[in-house]
Structures are given as structure tokens and as C-alpha cells.
Structure 1
Amino acid sequence: MYDIFAGREALESSYFLTRSKALEAFPMLKKDELVGALVYYDGQHNDARMNVALAMTAACYGATVANHCEVTSLTKDKDGIVNGAHLRDNITGDEWTVKAKGVINATGPFTDGLRKMDNAENLEIVAPSAGVHIILPNYYSPRNMGLLDPATSDGRVIFFLPWQGNTIAGTTDSPTEVTQNPMPKEDEINWILDEVSHYLSADVKVRRSDVLAAWSGIRPLVRDPHAKNTESLVRNHMINVSENKLITIAGGKWTTYRAMAEETVDRAIQVFNLKPTGKCDTEHVQLIGAKGYSNTMFIRLVQEFGMDTEVAAHLARSFGFKAWDVASIDDPTSASWPKYGNRISPNYPYIEAEVRYTVRQELACTAVDVLARRTRLAFLNAEAALGALPRVIEIMAEELKWDASRQKQEYKDAAIFLTTMGLAKEKAVQADTE
């Protein structure tokens, strides 16, 4: 089915494996009742880096990009039409107003909050669903192959896949409240572990202590407020225009983000009577770092800077051609090899130069920005992120001129955040008091 829908854009063709070949490809599998396996190809991406690349590319084309800013209310003209927003900088506390020809609400799970600012009587359209994932050591899956079962013991989907050098396993799908930093529940973590154990050989002991990180995301599933059955969910995305001309784009997924944006802007052109100078061409726009990139670029980074291959490959994948800019601001190591590439955590390829670069070029404002929204360390290993925290804060303090009080607050805030990523609360408290 995947091959049929993908057509010419398929990564590779699917194929069947016999029982013996399946065990050869995935030696951790339980042999009991195994008949064979169907192999299909899917893609992965680093959503944190993708999100930053989109924002930075937009900035290159003239967009004004601001993070850590919150909409506190909407402004309206004399006819009640939305024409701007009051904003607050959640770091400095500064407040200001931005006027506009129109406002687009693209806030994911927080969609209804903005819709209520427009009209308190607006129906809620988001049906938030929690998806918990856990991170396990890389020996839980082969390097380039994972496992997916769409029909578990209770009808849910389970998968465990190689991801960023570890293994990611999930996921749950349950109604939830919308919060800024959702917390995975212990019973959800144990459900995933229990399901994973059903597929693995008895030689592999699935242990709670193997969980390196555990986190929950919120899927912003949406209902059409104009549908006869308001409980039925929209499978893809939905664009809604309120009576006061607030445009809302909700639902969707990463694989359709660009089409969602194009459709939303096309609707805005109609609603706000805008006069574009041409047609949408984002389908052909390269993201920042794409120009000049090649799959062998990491080799040149190794040769030029004397970096570990793992570090060089990580920089190339994460920054594209901008990896050269990152590497060029790194300090030399104290070892004969590698000459460059000072890691912020010994078992992960993230380096100190990334901290400086993301502060200077990618609007990283807090330690959590670096650990969770520019690198993936917090998502991969909560304890490793806690261990890297002092050095990350030290570097950011140099770049942003933080005083001792700000550094202490950054440590406290980041330690609390890491408890939502699977760090035991007692370890966060202990670290905060040391």
C-alpha cells in the first residue's frame, strides 16, 4: 500500500523476509510464532533542526522572527475585525502591540486559546491527544531497521526504531489537557516497555532502568466546527476563518507543512484582499544550509578541522553547509586527536561551538533552547543533559553577559524542565542544591 501511494517518490520498494532472514536482520526479535516480516521504507527527520531552519530561512526572505513571545490579547478595529495583537516577551517582560492587515493563528495545540481571544463563544476545535515516547539504548534495535506493529494487545500502535544513535519506542494516544510542558505518566512508560518486551527475545531483559528519556507530545487533532457531527476529527488539516476574520490553520503534520502554509496564505490573500507580486514558490526554496551541502561533506570537515567522524557527520546533518560556520568558531581541544570538537556530553556528538552558534545565529535564549530545541540531548538522555547543563550555561553566560543570578535561574529552570523529559525529580532537586 505504501509503495502504491508513494509511486515514483518511494524511497525503496517494500519486500518480505523469511523467518531466518528476519532474525538475521533483527536478531533481537522473539523467535516464537515468528513467520516472517514485511520490510518497508520510511523517513526520519530532526524536527527541532527543521523548525529552526524554517524560521531562519524565513528571516533570510525578510520575515521578522521572534521567539519567547506570547500573544496576550488581540486588537480589533471599530467594526470588530482582528487587526493585530498585544505581545509580551516572556524573558524580559516587555510588552508591545503589533498592527497588521490580518492575523493567522498557527499555534498547534494552543489554537483554541487564540480563538477564544477573538470570541469567547467560539467552539473549541482542538482534541488534544498525548503521545508518550521513551528512549532506550541503541542495542534495542539494529542500526538501520526498526519494528512497527499496528495492532497491539489493546489495539494501539507500537514501534521501536533507531533514532539519533539510540532507540525510540512509543507511542500512546490518549486525551489530555493542553500544557506547556506535558509530563509522561509512569503507567504510560510501563505500557510501552511491556509492549516492547512482547517482541524481543527472552535474552533481552526490558528494564525500566534502561529508559534514558521519556517525554510526551501533544497532537493537535481538530474537529470541524461547521460539521454536523462536531465530535468527528479531521484527518488532515483545516483552515477556518472567523466572523472577525481571524484565520486559523490547525491539524496537519510535518509531511504536509509546506502545503498547509501555501493554502493558508492563499486564503489570507482572499480574506484580506492582499496584492501579491507573484505565485507561491516555496516548493522550490532551499532551506538555509542546503546550498553547497553534499552527503560526503562530513569527510571534508574531518580533514579540515581534525574532528571525530561522528561529530562531523552530526554537524553536516544538522546544519548543512552552515556546519563550516559552526566548526570555525570551535576552540581546539587539549588532545592530539580530535583537534576540534569539544563535546558538551561525552557520549553524544553535540559540541560547545553549537552552543555559541545557536546563540549568535539561531536565537537560542535559554539553556533549554540549546538542550531541547537546537540540539536533541534532552530528548535523548535526560541525565546527560543535566550533566551538560553547567557548561552550556557557562558558554551562554559568556555570549549573553548573564550575571550569577541569571545563571542560577537558568540552571533551576532547566532542571525542572528535564523532569518532563524523564529525569527523576530527586536528581533535579539534588542538582539544584549542589
Structure 2
Amino acid sequence: MIMQRDQMLRHLANETFDLLVIGGGITGVGVAREAARRGIRTALVEMQDFAWGTSSRSTKLIHGGLRYLRNFEFGLVRESVVERQRLLRMAPHLVHPLPFVFPVYTGDPDPLWMLKIGLMMYDWFSGKGTQIPHRMARGKAVMQWEPLLKQEGLVGAGIYQDCATDDARLTIEVLQSAVQWGAVAANYAVVTALRHDRSGKLEAVEVEDTLTRQRFAIRANRVLSACGPWADTVRRMDDPSAPSLLRLTKGVHITVPRDRLPLTNAVTMRGTDGRIMFAIPSGAFTYLGTTDTDYAGRPEDVRADRDDVEYILAAAQKNFPGQKLDFADVVSAWAGLRPLVRSQAANPSAVSRGYELFPSASGLVTIAGGKLTAFRAMASHIVDYLFPATKRAQGTAPSDNPLPGATTEPVAQETVKAISKATGEPEAEVVRVAQRYGRRFGPMWTELQTSGALSDGDPLMAWRLMQLKQAVEHEMAVRLEDVVARRTSLLLFTQDNGQRHLEALGQAMGQMLGWDATRTAAEVERCRQRVQEMFAWKNA
């Protein structure tokens, strides 16, 4: 499908909507999809690109959150596990079952028997849908699962199933589904003010297109702020005296080449302070994280610090001592913020990952908290709250209908090998790209083959141009960074962070979108700056 931004902006400026969603992360697009599905005339605006914030900077897991059982958040875990099973059906190309090994060592906070009880509950919540019921391994038997784990003090391990995803791509596909059902959405459309009538009720939202500097007002009967870490900012546009809702905590991840940490399964590991973290194989790479520390700066300024990277590397060295990972192995890093509901908990990791709705006197409703995994259920509850008459609307499609690219047919291994040979892309990364597009991938690859571009001197460049074209024509990518950082995995999951082809990609995107030489150079420089910021910790 094609999402035309100019056309979307005209609709936003000229129509009155039932619902306006502010925020284009997974929560916002999930609500837009659910509302549009019910026949509610829905609009959505995002001040940056879709998934620019937390929704492209998570641990990229669809999981129940085993550790939340320790905090007695049984309802949250059950909902998340049930939603995990739904997402396996809705987006099998983007949500992939992944075995996890959870080793237990002498002195760990949770003994093996306690882990077994937790995993039994996990399986029970999953129902018959779980593909890999948990199992327990003792002593050296654990090494058959992950031979790189530290052996000293190893008591045993639990092996269980959760799922991995591409968080930014999932957000884009949920948005595409919302648009298919009639939602109107635009990125780079920042809210500048909330307009009230004489009685103090919200009557319009003033917006600026940050690419053209044009301003307009959007009128809607209901307005939902799904702004994640920026929720308090929007609330104070509505009421300058509004108290803060959020406790922002920072989560940092790092990526290393998979041959430096060649895991077969994901590993649930503990940091040097006992916190639960993950090491997750992903294509030709393995990523590790996350940290969980309070954050008090501007949300848009969040970065990985040297302390964050040292903390993650220390955990890797503790759990996989033979690999001796260090700073030189780090290929990429990302930092995101969790917009948690403010609490008095001393430890950030003890703060609930649940969500709450906060209505204001003007009619603005703000959502705080929430998890990637539960976005569909959360959206359903929110739309029930905003439009109770639609709760059991007749004639609407099921909310767990497959997303646009859904397919259960993997690309044949011989095709993967042929693409890898033709383009120079590692086979594991070919699989990542094929999964990203799902059923769309076959036509994309066929078009590339018949174009002759693979024989024009740089077949890897042609492969990346194929993805650029899809992003611009079908996914509302309007800046080069949108493509490099969110529509593709070039920034985080390539050895050079996409730098080798940055100039050529910028030139091609400029031709597609009518940029002049100055704009093209600025887009390329913006991406280079993003890479420099990602590695600023090296010079700290």
C-alpha cells in the first residue's frame, strides 16, 4: 500500500475527526488501528518519524516479562503472554519464537526451584499455544544449550520460549493496517498548542509541518496523548500546572558481531549487580542489554553513556568470560526511555510496566506506561474507554487480523543463498530483510532481479536501493535517517552503520523526493551525525 504524506496532511487540515492521536509510537498507532477498525474517523500526528522514540529503541522482544512475576504482577504477565501468542498469528513474519536459556548460579537471588515455578506459570498463561514448553537442565547439562556460559557455580537453567521482533517495523506495519482501515496519519507534524473554547474544553490542536513550516489546526471530538516520554510536555500545553505523571528510566543496548558472541539461543543473564539482562542473537549480530536507570534530561537527548556500555560489557564478561568482549567489539548502541507511571519505588526495575489513563478537565486523555507486547490489548481498552458505544460494534474485522505483510511462508534456503551470493549480504542478514517485508518481499526481489541493477557494478548497493524504494513509496519515509535507522537495519545491524552507501542512498532518495543538492547533503550529514552521537561514549 502507498501512504502519501501530502494527501494525509490535506485531510488533517480540512476534516473534523472523531479521534486525534498525538504520538506515532506503537501505542499511538495501535490505538489508531483499533479505532479505525471500529469505524471511528481517526487521525494521528507524530512530531518526528514514526517509532522515532521508545518504539525503535526497545529490547526488541515480544515477551511476557518473566521477571515481573517476582513483583507479583501476574495480570501484566498473563496479558503479555496471551498477546504474545496473538502476535505470532498477526505478524508471523515479524514476531519469531526464540528459545531462552536462563542460567542459575550459586548465590543468585532466584534459586532454581523458584525459576521452575515461574516457568510453570509462564507456560500455563500461554495455554496450548506455546511451541516450546519450558524444561529444566542441571549442572553441566546447561552447556549443551549454550557452551559459552560461565561454568563456575552453575547450578542449572530453565529453557523457555519468548519471541523477538523488529520493533520499528512492527510499528510501521500496525500503522499501515490503521491506514488501510481509514486512519489519516502524518510524521514530522508537531503539536505546537492546544486550543480551548470559552468553557475550557479542548476544541482544536495546532500543528506545524516541520518539513515545510506550514501550520494548521486539527479538529477532533476526542484527543488522546500517546506521547510516551513526552506525555508530561503535552499535558502542560493543556494545563501548565499539571503534575508530572512520568518516571523516565533509560535502557541502553549494545551490538557485537555474532562471531564474537555466537549464541544459538537468547540468554537471560544477570548483570554484576544481579539485574536481569539479555543477550540475543539477531542475524549476523548479537545484542545485549538493557540498563535501567533514572533519567532526568530532555527525552530527545537520551544517549548511551560510557558507564552504560561498561555496565553491559561487565555483564557479558561475567556470563561469557571466554569471549573477553570489550569496547572494540561494539558495532552499535542505542538508548531509549521507558515512560513509566511515577511511583515511590527506590529501584527503577521495581516500577510497574503497566499503564494508566489520565483524563483532564479539558477532555484531553493521556496514557502513561505500557509495554510493546501488549499494544493491541492496551489499544482495545483505550478505545473502549474513549468510545464505549463501539465496544461490541457489529460488522468490524477482528482486532487480531493479520498485519499487511503477514505470511507463514519463509523464504526458501536456496533463495537466501542465491541472494547472498548475488549481493554479498550475509545469509543471516538476507533472512532479516526477507522477514521484514513478509509477503511483500517476493515481488520486491523479482523487480530487482528484472531491473538489471544487480549487474551494474555494486549489487549490495542495488539491494539497499530496493529497500529505500519501498520505504519512500510505501512507508512514508521522508528523511534519509528514516530509512537508515527505522525502515531498515543499516544503522544498528551492519558493520559500518550503513556509512558505505550513505551518499548514494541520499542521492537516490533526493531524486525520488525532489531534493536539491543542499538538502541532499544535509540529509547525509544528519545520518553521519547520528552515528557520531551513537559512539560519543567512546570519547567520554
**Alignment partners' CA distance in 2, 1:196 and 1:6:** 30
Quick one: which of 331, 334, 350 aligns to 1:215?
334
Code of the residue aligned with 2:504 in structure 1: it is R
CA distance in 2: counterparts of 1:112 and 1:257, whole angstroms? 20
Q: What is the CA deviation profile of residues 230-282 of structure 1, one whole-angstrom value per residue up to 9, with x for unaligned ones?
A: xx955411112111110112211111101111111111114xx8899547645
- Selected match of 1:64 from 184, 202, 213: 184
Equivalent of 1:139, from 259, 262, 276? 259
Q: 1:118 to 1:14 in 2, by over 3 A?
A: same
Could you tell me whether the CA contact under 8 Å between 2:305 and 2:537 is conserved in 1? Answer: no
Q: Where does structure 1 lack aligned partners over 5 or more consecutive residues?
A: 226-231, 427-434
Residue of 405, 423, 426 corresponding to 1:289: 405
Superposition map of 1:222-301 within 5 A? 222-223=341-342, 233-270=351-388, 278=394, 281-290=397-406, 293-298=407-412
Q: Does 1:97 find its partner at 2:225?
A: no
Secondary structure of 2:399's counterpart equals helix
| Alpha-carbon distance between aligned partners in 2 of 1:279 and 1:239, rounded to the nearest angstrom | 28
Deviation at 1:134, TM superposition (A): 0.5
- Confirm or deny that 1:343 pairs with 2:460: yes
1:73 Cα shift?
0.8
* Other-structure match for 1:421: 534
In 2, are the aligned partners of 1:28 and 1:140 still within 8 Å (CA)? Answer: no
Higher RCO by CA contacts (8 Å cutoff, separation 6 or greater):
2
> Within 1, Cα distance between the matches of 2:305 and 2:536?
13
Does 2:275 align with 1:156?
Answer: yes
With normalisation by structure 2, the TM-score equals: 0.69
- Please say which of residues 23-32 and 358-367 is displaced more in the overlay: 23-32
Unaligned stretches of 5+ in structure 2? 1-117, 345-349
Contact 2:200-2:362 within 8 A present in 1 as well: yes
Aligned pair partner of 2:285 in 166, 175, 178: 166
Tell me how far 1:27 sits from its aligned partner.
2.1
Change (3 A) 1:142 1:385: same
Equivalent residue for 1:388? 501
Alpha-carbon distance, 1:135 to partner: 0.4
The residue aligned with 2:167 is 47
Aligned match of 1:321? 439
Offset at 1:371?
0.8
Q: Distance in 1 between matches of 2:307 and 2:201?
A: 47
- Tell me the matched-pair count: 407
Distance 1:223 1:414 in 2: 34
Q: CA deviation at 1:318?
A: 0.6
CA contact (8 A) 1:73 1:85 kept: yes
Deviates more, 1:294-303 or 1:315-324: 294-303
Give 1:144 shift.
Answer: 3.2
Match of 1:76 in 2: 196
Q: C-alpha displacement at 1:101, in angstroms?
A: 0.8
Contact 1:382 1:423 in 2 (8 A): no
In structure 2, relative to structure 1, the CA distance for the partners of 1:75 and 1:41 (3 Å cut) is: same
Residues 48-76 of structure 1, C-alpha deviation per residue, up to 9 Å, x if partnerless? 11011011111111111101111111122
SS in 2 for 1:160: strand
Deviation at 1:313, TM superposition (A): 3.0
Residue 430 of structure 1 is matched in structure 2 by none
Larger deviation, residues 358-367 vs 323-332 = 323-332
How far did residue 166 of structure 1 move?
0.7
Shift of 1:299: 5.7
Asked whether the equivalents of residues 85 and 99 of structure 1 are also in contact (C-alpha less than 8 Å), the reply is yes
1:401 to 514, 518, 522: 514
Call closer, same or farther: CA 1:351–1:423 in 2, change over 3 Å.
Answer: farther
Contact in 1 for aligned 2:253/2:333 (Cα 8 Å): yes
Provide Cα deviations, 1:271-324, integer angstroms capped at 9, x if missing partner: xx889954764523221112xx23334469669989676565334311111113
Task: Check conservation: 1:118, 1:244, Cα contact below 8 A.
Answer: yes
More deviation, 247-256/232-241: 232-241
- 1: distance between equivalents of 2:458 and 2:137? 41
**Which letter does structure 1 place at the counterpart of 2:532?**
T
Is structure 2 residue 308 aligned with structure 1 residue 185? no
- SS where residue 44 of structure 1 aligns? strand
Q: Is the 8 A contact 1:16 1:36 kept in 2?
A: yes
The code of the aligned residue for 2:410 comes to T
Offset, 1:112: 0.7
Task: Choose the corresponding residue for 1:205, options 324, 336, 339.
Answer: 324
Pairing 1:12–2:128 present: no
Please give the per-residue CA displacement for 1:328-376, whole angstroms capped at 9, x wherever unaligned: 44243455xxx9994249xxxx621010111011000111100111012
Q: Is the 8 A contact 1:224 1:238 kept in 2?
A: no
Distance in 2 between residues matched to 1:304 and 1:191, nearest whole Å: 40
Between stretches 298-307 and 17-26, larger displacement belongs to: 298-307
Q: Supply the AA of the counterpart residue of 2:300.
A: Q
**Quick one: structure 1 residues 310 and 398, their matched pair in 2 at CA, closer, same or farther if it must change by over 3 Å?**
farther
Question: 2:108 maps to which residue?
Answer: none
How far apart are the structure 2 equivalents of 1:88 and 1:279? 36
User: 3-state SS of the aligned residue for 2:163?
Assistant: coil
1:95 & 1:402 partners in 2: Cα distance?
22
* Counterparts of 1:287 and 1:21, CA distance in 2: 40
In the alignment, which residue of structure 2 is the partner of 1:362?
475
Match of 2:99 in 1: none
Give the partner amino acid of 2:152: D
SS of the equivalent of 1:88 reads: strand
Q: Quick check: 17-26 or 85-94, which moved more?
A: 17-26
